[in-house]
Structure formats: structure tokens, C-alpha cells
Amino acid sequence: MALPKFAYFEGKIVPYAEAKVGVMTHALNYGTAAFGGVRAYWNEDEKQLFIFRPYDHFKRLLRSARLLCMNFDHTPESLTQVLKDLLRAEDAHEDMYIRPLIYKADEMIGVKCHDMTDEITIFTVPFGRYVSNDTGAHVTISGWRRIDDNTIPARGKIAGAYVNSALIKTDALRAGFDEALVLTQDGHISEGSAENIFMVRDGVLITPPVYENILEGITRRTIIQLAKEELGVEVVERPIDRTEVYICDELFMTGTAAQVTAVTKVDHRPVGDGTMGPITAKLRQMYDDVVRGKLPKYRAWNEPVYE
Ligand code: PMP
């Protein structure tokens, strides 16, 4: 992967090579960091780069900060401004992935969250697809369980918690699958390693509620709104049993990186007729239009980078 030219680091935009931390850094040793994953999409007709829902992403990041007892003077607005400056410095004119990272910067030994130095860094890289087979993914049910709210809160995007996601993803890929769904401690479907999950049963769109140890996904929220407002589809948030995904009509995963990824097979069982279903296909297309600023009704979600 190509490295960024610049990063926002310790309060200013610096050449990427200067954005470095020491090996004693608390976050590196103990996972005491949290991050975001944001995308910016290039609109060729308008020759404009649109960041998708940056205020919502930064709002979630600052909530993760509260979970880790971090304090920042920044607001979603000030961070969006920093991000725009950074993307302009990069001279980005293509689809980009943006990684804001907040971390415990002290170089010290001792496990705790409070009374420490907290820093924010942001970097951006050109980015295409995340799940390679996003029109017909084959997923498995992971043997790992999802971290619980009383272990490491999944609603925060806490760096250390991503060991759980990494174990899930590695075992899925090594076993020949594209992704895995992970169960909560009591055996319901929670989400993918880095995606929320939706299934369609008898025309109703169903997704696990926030108390099922999911990350409160911004793509999830976007899809719920689009399904209701644009497709008139009923959306229900309720726990999903493991075997429901074996018999549902459609299945897809959502995430900033994964966008809308169709799942057509679960543990060698075809989903529906084994091809992408109609509600999934419509939402996929609509999501791509919305993120590129092509639907006027949702333009408030598209933050232009260039004047
Ligand atoms: N769940 C997990 C565990 C994730 O890492 C992500 C990616 N951020 C998501 C869900 C999807 O969230 P979002 O739509 O906000 O990117």
C-alpha cells in the first residue's frame, strides 16, 4: 500500500515520515487507542472530493474517547476542518480511506486510562474495495465470540478490541472464506469482523440492535434510512439466531470499508437462490450514488473538500 504524503500529528500537518511514536508509547503496548474509518469519494462530474458523513464519524470517535477517559478540545467540526486541510495537502483526487486515530501517547509503564496525554493523528490513503468478493461473498460463522460490552465495549472503536476482529478474519480467510460472522456470548449473530450485518426475510430487513455488541455503524444507519425512505422497506432491529442466516432470502454486510457487500453463501449453504438479491442490489447502487453526492436529498452527508 502506498504511504500517505502527510499526516496530522501532534496538532499540525507534517510530512508522513515525521509522524512517529516511540516504542514505549502506552497505546502501542496496551491497545489504549481508538480509531475511525472514513471514506472520501471522488465525483468525476463535479470534479469534487466528498467526505461521507465526517461529522457523524468524528462524533463517534469522540464518544470512543470518552470510553477511554480521553479529553480533547476538538469538536466534530474542527476535526472535519483538519481533515479537509489534510486531503488538500495530499492533493487527493480519487477515492480515499481516512484513518483518524486517538491514542494514549505517554511513554510509561502502567495500565490505566486516566490522567494521561491523549493525542489525535489522521492519515489518508487511496482505497478501493475492502472485501474482494463484494458481490457474492462466502462467509462462515466464526468459532470466536464477539467481545462483550462488559469486557471491551464494542460500541467504541477501541484499538485493542480489534485483536478480536483480526482473529476472526484470519481464521475465515485461511479456511477459504471471504469473511466471518461472529456470535455474541449467548449465541446470536452480532456482526462481521469489520461490518454490520443485515438479512432479508419475507421482504423485511432485519439487523441486530445496538445491544448485541455491534459497532454502531454509520453505514448501518445510512442503509436503515435509505431502506425505509427510498425503498419503503420495513426495518426491524432484533436479535438474529444463527440458523436464520441459513434460511434467509438475502444477506449483506455494511461498513465504510466494505460498503454494501452481498453475501451469497454461508458455510456452503446458498443464501436465497445463491445470487445477490433485489433489495441488496438496490441498496448497493443507492449507497454508491449517495456517497458520491448524486442524490440531492442526502447532500448534507457529502462534505466537499475543494472550494
Ligand atoms: N463493525 C465493526 C467491528 C467495524 O470495524 C466496522 C467498520 N468501522 C463496522 C461494523 C461498520 O461501521 P461503519 O459503517 O461506521 O464503518
Domain ranges of the chain: 6-126, 137-291
In the prediction, which pLDDT does 1 show?
78
Q: Is 171's pLDDT higher than 90?
A: yes
Q: Is 224's pLDDT higher than 90?
A: yes
282 is catalytic: no
Residue entry with cell 496525554: 117
In the prediction, which pLDDT does 235 show?
98
Percent of the chain with pLDDT over 70: 100
Q: Confidence band (pLDDT; 50, 70, 90) for 145?
A: very high
Q: Confidence band (pLDDT; 50, 70, 90) for 122?
A: very high
In the prediction, which pLDDT does 266 show?
98
Q: What is the mean pLDDT of the chain?
A: 97
In the prediction, which pLDDT does 151 show?
96
**Nearest residue CA, atom 9 of ligand 1?**
195
Q: Is 213 left (phi over 0), alpha (psi -120 to 50) or beta?
A: left
CATH top class, domain 6-126: alpha beta
The residue-averaged pLDDT of 142-163 equals: 97
* Separation in Å, CA 175 to CA 76, 170, 172, 197, 245: 40, 8, 5, 21, 19
- Domain 137-291 in CATH: superfamily? D-amino Acid Aminotransferase, subunit A, domain 2 (3.20.10.10)
Who contacts 115 (Cβ-Cβ below 8 Å, separation ≥6)? none
Q: Is 61's pLDDT higher than 90?
A: yes
pLDDT in tens, 251-296: 999 999 999 999 999 999 999 999 999 999 999 999 999 999 999 9
Counted residue by residue, the chain has a size of 307
In the prediction, which pLDDT does 274 show?
97
Ligand 1 mutation pick, 55, 131, 193, 219, max ligand atoms within 8 A of CB: 219
The residue-averaged pLDDT of 226-242 equals: 98
- The count of C-alpha atoms lying within 13 angstroms of the C-alpha of 264, restricted to the half-sphere facing its C-beta, is 13
Of 12, 20, 104, 157, which residue is the catalytic one?
157
* Separation in Å, CA 253 to CA 27, 217, 223: 30, 11, 10
In the prediction, which pLDDT does 128 show?
81
Residue entry with cell 476535526: 79
Ligand 1 pocket (Cβ < 6 Å) reads 37, 165, 191, 194-196, 215, 217-220, 254-256
Q: Is the dihedral of CA 293, 294, 296, 298 positive or negative?
A: negative
The residue-averaged pLDDT of 144-149 equals: 98
The C-alpha atoms of residue 52 and residue 34 are separated, in whole angstroms, by 20
In the prediction, which pLDDT does 11 show?
97
The residue-averaged pLDDT of 11-27 equals: 98
In the prediction, which pLDDT does 200 show?
98
Q: Confidence band (pLDDT; 50, 70, 90) for 245?
A: very high
- Tell me, yes or no, if the two domains 6-126 and 137-291 fold the same way: no
> From the alpha carbon of 165, which atom of ligand 1 is closest?
3
Q: Is 133's pLDDT higher than 90?
A: no
Ligand 1 mutation pick, 139, 152, 256, max ligand atoms within 8 A of CB: 256
Q: What is the pTM of this model?
A: 0.97
The residue-averaged pLDDT of 8-37 equals: 98
Distance 9 CA to ligand 1 centre (A): 24
Q: Is 54's pLDDT higher than 90?
A: yes
Q: Is 132's pLDDT higher than 90?
A: no
The C-alpha atoms of residue 48 and residue 204 are separated, in whole angstroms, by 36
Residue (of 13, 6, 10) closest to 21 by Cα position: 10
Q: Which of 134 and 39 is assigned the larger pLDDT?
A: 39
The C-alpha atoms of residue 123 and residue 62 are separated, in whole angstroms, by 17
